[in-house]
Amino acid sequence: MILSDADILAALEQGTIKIEPFRSEALGSNSYDVHLGPYLRVYATATLDARRPTSSTLLEIPEKGLFLVPGILYLGVTEEYTESHAYVPFLEGKSSIGRLGIQIHATASKGDIGFCNHWTLEITVVQPVRVYPGMPIGQLIFFTLQGPAQIPYRQRHSAKYTSRDTLPVPSLYWKNFHSI
């Protein structure tokens, strides 16, 4: 079951969902719009190694906007910090963003119960497009779970993205390997 606007508001009141900052105008019938934060991260090299950390460059999106170009993976971040303690959050792109050729995630649309952070976005574009800090970029949809989770995300030994961060977080996949 997907939560409605009334369900999302009730979950916020109960503390089973947290959205900071919360903007009432961002609440849809069954979703909540999230906004692009002021920073993007790009990898410093075109060749990445899944077993090794890769250096990256942090870019600040000026108020006048920044052109994104095809062929580059931009890691963005949501302005909103979210917590979900009883629902499975999914982050999807807004249709208006998709119609501009902007994709906001490569594979990671599903969050886990217990995810508490800003969302890192895996942004690619099909043609050059200017983006702006604070623009609505995606929407969170919350699903109910059939039963309680035994181990929420933040309590998992393997959880790598638990430090609250307002900057885009590069891949920490290399931590899955004991030696690098």
Residue of 60, 57, 22 lying closest to 38 (CA atoms): 60
Tally the domains of the chain: 1
Judge whether 175 lies within some domain.
Answer: no
**Amino acid 161: pLDDT:** 66
Q: What letter represents residue 131's amino acid?
A: V
Judge whether 88 lies within some domain.
Answer: yes
Contacts 24+ apart (CB under 8 A), 177-180: 177/51, 180/51, 180/52, 180/53
Judge whether 158 lies within some domain.
Answer: no
> Taken in order 81, 13, 109, 114, is the CA torsion positive or negative?
positive
Judge whether 112 lies within some domain.
Answer: yes
Tell me the per-residue pLDDT of 28-87, one tens digit each, with 9 for 90 and over: 999 999 999 999 999 999 898 888 888 999 999 999 999 999 999 999 999 999 999 899
Judge whether 25 lies within some domain.
Answer: yes
Q: What is the 3-state secondary structure (H, E, C) of 93-125?
A: ECHHHHCCCEECCCCCCECCCCCEEEEEEEEEE
Average pLDDT, the chain: 89
> Three-state SS for 167?
coil
Judge whether 50 lies within some domain.
Answer: no
Give the residue numbers annotated as catalytic, written as ranges: 122
Judge whether 49 lies within some domain.
Answer: no
Tell me the per-residue pLDDT of 104-151, one tens digit each, with 9 for 90 and over: 998 778 788 888 899 999 999 999 999 999 999 999 999 998 877 777
CATH number where 75 lies: 2.70.40.10
**Amino acid 178: pLDDT:** 56
**Amino acid 180: pLDDT:** 46
Judge whether 176 lies within some domain.
Answer: no
- pTM score, two decimals? 0.87
Tell me the per-residue pLDDT of 82-112, one tens digit each, with 9 for 90 and over: 999 899 999 999 999 999 999 999 877 878 8
Can you give the residue range of the structural domain that contains 24? Answer: 5-43+55-147
